[in-house]
Amino acid sequence: MAKRKIAVVGAGLIGLSTAVYIVESIPTCSVTVISDKFTPNTTSDVAAGMLIPHTYRGIPIHQQKQWFRETFDYLFEINNSSEASDAGIHLVSGWQIFKTIPDEVLPFWSDVVLGFRSMTEEELKKFPQHRFGQAFTTLKCDCPSYLLWMEKRLKGNGSQVYARRIEDLWELHSKYDIVVNCSGIGSRELMGDLEIYPVRGQVLKVNAPWVNHFIRDGDGLTYIYPGIHNVTLGGTRQKDNWTLSPDPRSSKDIFDRCCALEPSLERAQDIKVRVGLRPSRLAVRLQKEILVRDGKKLPVVHNYGHGSGGFSVHRGTAKAAVQLVGECIAALEGSSSKAKL
Ligand SMILES: Cc1cc2nc3c(=O)[nH]c(=O)nc-3n(C[C@H](O)[C@H](O)[C@H](O)COP(=O)(O)OP(=O)(O)OC[C@H]3O[C@@H](n4cnc5c(N)ncnc54)[C@H](O)[C@@H]3O)c2cc1C
Ligand SMILES: O=C(O)CCC(=O)C(=O)O
């Protein structure tokens, strides 16, 4: 059986985690990651990295729950190993709070995170503007550490990693048997996919080591997420806004909103502003496509469009993408054995 050559386009969270899963589950192929940007310069580096799912309106809930569970279980295992600090994975406990009682008192992911329960009246006294809350423990990634850890694992396994911008996936036809497209918001231009759009997110990364519980307003706009090296304060969700430069007014607004929830943040130091464009889509595109030119074929597997929830589901979607890669390999084996007959 020929050793199949697979190119993964994109070195953000989705490209690297898909490449890692291919290497782990299909050892008979060689993997090359090709990307114009790497950590610390990807959208994935800007993220808070919290495992709190966002709902994709175009995907059945049972599917999203499975992706979340697979991701949670995978990272929990890393968290319980000696790799945890290198990979930047840790547990974090805290509260999601609501000004009015939400429709969904028990979200679909409540039995995946640890110790999910309603907040007590005593706990709610910390948030006098809020009437209801949920307490739980989840996982968080320190995003640059996690990306670097995956990149090192790939290189350690003999995979190649190249910096290059791809204008057209067909450029890869002569060297690779299969292409896996994990180019995030880049797919709008690369694939001409107008279903993917940016949702601009501005966050502050601050030094406030005394803050160690997360706080998330149920409206999803204001959050305080303590991490290994800093605390992420959020945020903004600006649909169809491509501006990557920070907006000082948004920074002040974010800071004020977060201080209203956690007044001790007034003393936060070393405030850095980061902006990222969430690669948003009604549904993650997990699909096979065969590109055909001049009678020649190039199988492509798409895995992009994770919007606000990439960290929460990445291992599950990597597994689904690798299943599709396996189907492409089986089809190639089938056509090469027919050719020999
Ligand atoms: C402010 C903010 C906070 C967030 N917080 C969380 C959170 O707490 N939890 C959570 O689950 N999710 C969160 N997210 C969402 C998460 O960041 C995304 O879902 C995830 O990072 C998407 O990963 P990606 O690999 O698809 O995209 P990217 O990280 O953008 O990676 C895409 C890669 O493709 C490459 N590429 C693109 N086009 C080309 C091309 N033509 N040629 C070569 N390479 C190309 C890019 O250079 C890049 O390496 C947050 C997002 C933002 C912006
Ligand atoms: O929504 C959250 O609480 C996590 C952060 C996030 O996913 C985002 O800002 O997109």
Atom of ligand 1 nearest to the CA of 53: 11
Residue 333 has what pLDDT? 87
Model confidence at 174: pLDDT above 60: yes
Cα dihedral 184→186→189→194 (10° resolution): 30
Prediction pTM value = 0.96
Å from CA of 232 to ligand 2 middle: 10
Provide the percentage of residues in the chain whose pLDDT is more than 90.
96
Q: Indicate which residue's Cα is closest to atom 8 of ligand 2.
A: 308
Residues 246-251, mean pLDDT to the nearest whole number: 98
pLDDT one-digit tens code per residue, 274-316? 999 999 999 999 999 999 999 999 999 999 999 999 999 999 9
Residue 29 has what pLDDT? 94
Ligand 1 contacts CB of residue 182 (under 6 A): yes
pLDDT band at 1 (very low <50, low <70, confident <90, very high): low
Ligand 1 contacts CB of residue 304 (under 6 A): yes
Average pLDDT across the chain, whole number? 96
Q: Indicate which residue's Cα is closest to atom 22 of ligand 1.
A: 310
Q: Measured in whole angstroms, how far is the alpha carbon of residue 191 from the centre of its chain?
A: 20
pLDDT one-digit tens code per residue, 139-170? 999 999 999 999 999 999 999 999 999 999 99
Residue 23 has what pLDDT? 97
Model confidence at 114: pLDDT above 90: yes
Å from CA of 278 to ligand 1 middle: 6
Indicate the SS3 state at residue 174: coil
pLDDT one-digit tens code per residue, 66-96? 999 999 999 999 999 999 999 999 999 999 9
Å from CA of 95 to ligand 2 middle: 14
Cα dihedral 233→152→178→196 (10° resolution): 10
Residue 137: C-alpha distances to residues 8, 20, 77, 265 (Å): 33, 27, 15, 22
Residues 176-195, mean pLDDT to the nearest whole number: 98
